[in-house]
Structure 1
Amino acid sequence: MRYLLAVQNDESVPLPTGADWDASLSRVEAVNEEMRAEGVWVFAGGLRSSESSTVVRVQNGTTTMTDGPFAETKEQLGGFWVIEVADLDAALAWAEKCAAACWGPIEVRPFDELSQD
């Protein structure tokens, strides 16, 4: 089953810099390599800040586009992994490793049956 492991960033807290940033990238890459080696890796990516987003809405046949995030909240989606594992317990074990690497919360959500191969 596929799961989304979503990195939740508090955008009011500055990102690490210098050696701290390099260490963070190293921890994340170590988890990425472990996922690849275990055969659970599907896809992953980091996202720019929510300020760079555009929200597109279609209502009554009219399209509007607005700058900024869809929701006004201090925590935003900062990145994600998509993994394929046997069950929720396996996904939670990977989420624990991801949370330790990112030093932040990871939301775990299963894909619905329409999204499966």
Structure 2
Amino acid sequence: MHFLVNVIDDGQAEAAGRTESGTQAETDAVDALNARLGDAVVFAAGVSAPGDAAVVDARGAEPKVTSGLLGDPAEFVAGFWVMDLPDAETALRVAHEASVACNRKIELRPLL
């Protein structure tokens, strides 16, 4: 099964006064987790700052583009993994490990 594992920044970037909120220790811990998970990590990436986002709605006659995030920027996706894991129980365990490694909340969602 494939899972989307979102890293949620809920103030770390703002508190650090920079876009990249991860400390060197957190980056090292995430790198170690990625190495341990090996091929289970299909893809992983950080995501740029909320101010870089654009919401595009082309459902009407004229496309509408809005700068910024769709929702409340107090919490936003700062990075993510796509992981290939055997089941939801394993995914929850890995999400717990990811939360510890990156010192952030994690949103776990199965991919359809």
Shorter-chain TM band: 0.7 to 0.9
Shift of 1:5: 0.6
CA displacement, residues 37-68 of structure 1 (integer Å, 9 cap, x when unaligned):
xx311000001111111111113221011111
For residue 70 of structure 1, give the secondary structure of its aligned residue in structure 2. Answer: coil
For residue 30 of structure 2, what is the aligned residue in structure 1? 28
For residue 33 of structure 1, give the secondary structure of its aligned residue in structure 2. Answer: helix
Q: Which runs of 5+ in 2 are unaligned?
A: none
AA aligned to 1:52 is D
AA aligned to 1:22 is Q
1:12-91 residue pairs with structure 2 within 5 A? 13-15=14-16, 21-36=23-38, 39-91=39-91
Whether the 8 Å contact between 2:50 and 2:73 is mirrored in structure 1 is no
Q: Which runs of 5+ in 1 are unaligned?
A: 113-117
Q: TM-score, normalised by structure 2?
A: 0.87
Aligned residue pairs total 108
AA aligned to 1:79 is G
Q: TM-score, normalised by structure 1?
A: 0.84
Instruction: List 4+ stretches of structure 1 deviating above 3 A.
Output: none
